[in-house]
Chain A
Amino acid sequence: MKSSSIEAIALIDANNFYASCEQSINPYLRNKPVVILSNNDGCIIARSPEARALKIKMGTPYFKDKERLNKLGVTVFSSNYSLYGDISRRLMNLLRNHCEEIEIYSIDEAFVSISRPDDKDLHPWARRLRSLIYQNLGITLTIGIGENKLRAKVANNLAKKIDYSAGIFDLARTKDENNYLKGISVDKLWGIGKQTSKWLKSKGIKNAKEFRDMEENEIIKKLGIVGRRLQLELKGYKCLPIEKRKKSKREIQVSRSFGTPITKSEDLTQALAIYAIKASAKMRSQNLQTSAISVFTRTSKYSSQNYQRSAYKKLINATNNTNTILKIVVALSKEIYNPEYKLSKAGVLMQDLTNYEYLQQSIINYKPQKDIQTSENLMKTIDSLNKRFNNKAITWAIAKKPREWTMNRNLLSRTSTTNIKQIPTIVEKKYN
């Protein structure tokens, strides 16, 4: 019976996820060095194994490495989040079919629970899953298995570190646990922050094994129940459950960094207006409406200036109507503008989201139903036109003015799995 078998937890993550997504739908990139840049083509945030082998470092600003990458023949891409999002959705759904419960932890990692077979060996399951995902999506997985989430995470680390693991490590079934835990530095432990690891090191606790065996009262005194929980998990007790259901979205944020910093008031207003248009459409697509809107802006983290402001407005009537939201956002944008600073990022936040019910509204601001019906139809029409023409059909005038600050994505890969105009093409060649 399933209920009597022992449940294991695995942390499954995709190796070099963004680079693998690009390689999986573009044969030219197979076995070639590929790197992906962060928003605004800022830093290197993903590398294919081939790029890794060339000693290209994560986090390097692109402009610093540009020449070298060119010389080495590395293909460079801007982040293509619609592709990565689609492959992630496919990955999580495929994983779901091969485990009991799944908690999606990030775009490329998930905790899953799985019962151990009679012989307790989960390696065959993990090997099958790895080859299935590789065949279906061209993505290579690392699978770490343990009694709980923390130990699954540790096992995942070990699977990456140990060459002969072939991407799979089961911490609950190893005979040499102490040695492996000694190889994990305390600051690499999930849930242990900078301050805590500093304190632990001052106490002579350097690795996961020493933390596991530490005097529990000492941990409770300094780190409280959270520290104790970490220690218990490391010992193999199960403290954190798998969280199956995603908490319902309580806010929608649209924010971007600017390609060129903004100093003019009208540019900030325009940027926020464009984000507000996006956020409103997003709410409508999820049948949500907002009753609190905030906007924010800030200077670059790397600049010597430091300025950040936000402004907020609570609404009497919840809405997802772009016209209404635009008016509010435009007004709020004036409150956060400051001509003395070079602004590098801004965003809008739709909060207090509730499910959208047709024509529900408060008595104070009562409008004849026909008005609302008309503007609702307008929104529907705009949304469907945009859906049909790939967000290029219709927008508000404010979004159409020429802009200089837009995000740099000069190296965006043109291939897509979600837009029929950009699907991969097979070009057949005749005999020469």
Chain B
Amino acid sequence: MDFFGSTSEKLKIPLLSDSISAGFPSPADDYIEENIDLNEHLISNPFSTFFLRVKGDSMINAGIKDKDLIIVDKSLTAKPGNIIIAMIDGEFTIKRLSIKNNELFLKAENHNYPDFSFRNHIDIQIWGVVIYSIHSYL
């Protein structure tokens, strides 16, 4: 029954089972540490961090693939070179914030997808900065 319990806790602290502690103390007792919590390691601003899902391979050259989970931190101010989420014409888009001839634009990392220039789109709003993408190999 405890088998199911292990997936439910956000941060599980491993404990030794009774049967072992009844006999000799385990030599590992003093070295047991908490499990690794990815939230803690990947997310430094939890209150401004959101998860989104990508559909399409517009960022394939940046290593972001269809169906990837991405982690977005809205507290960061976007800098050229960052991969960002923007709102354009009522939709989310994922692009790289880039600079060409002293002008900022949003670059798709796949030549089948369009770039967006701030000049041609009045209604661009940068929503957040992508800090990680998570891809499943299964």
Contact = CB atoms under 8 A, between A and B. Distances in A.
B53 A426 contact: yes
B47 interface: yes
A420 B51 contact: yes
B118 interface: no
Give the most central of A136, A378, A388: most B CB within 10 Å.
A136
A28 B51 contact: no
A380 B55 CA distance: 37
Contact of B56 (A93, A384, A428): A428
A132 B74 CA distance: 10
Interface string B42-65: 000001101111111111000000
Q: On chain B, which size bracket covers the interface?
A: 35 or more
A420 B85 CA distance: 18
A378 B1 CA distance: 8
Interface in A373-421: 377-378, 380-381, 383-385, 387-388, 417, 420
B78 to A, nearest CB: 10
Interface residues of A, number: 32
Contacts of A424: 50, 52-53, 92
B85 A94 contact: no
Contacts of A245: none
Contacts of B8: 383-384, 387-388
B97 interface: no
Interface string B108-131: 100011100000000001010000
A305 B54 CA distance: 53
Interface in B99-114: 108, 112-114
B47 A136 contact: yes
A358 interface: no
Given A27-B87, A137-B74, A431-B112, A426 B92 contact: yes
A30 to B, nearest CB: 6
B5 A380 contact: yes
A423 interface: yes
A388 B127 CA distance: 30
A90 interface: yes
B63 to A, nearest CB: 15
B48 A28 contact: no
Contact of B113 (A136, A380, A430): A430
B4 to A, nearest CB: 5
A89 B5 CA distance: 26
A428 B93 contact: yes
Given A30-B87, A136-B47, A423-B53, A381 B92 contact: no
Interface of B: 1-2, 4-5, 7-8, 47-48, 50-59, 69-70, 74-75, 85, 87-88, 90-94, 108, 112-114, 125, 127
Given A27-B87, A30-B125, A132-B75, 11 more contacts: A135-B75, A136-B74, A388-B7, A420-B69, A425-B54, A426-B70, A427-B92, A428-B55, A428-B58, A428-B94, A430-B56
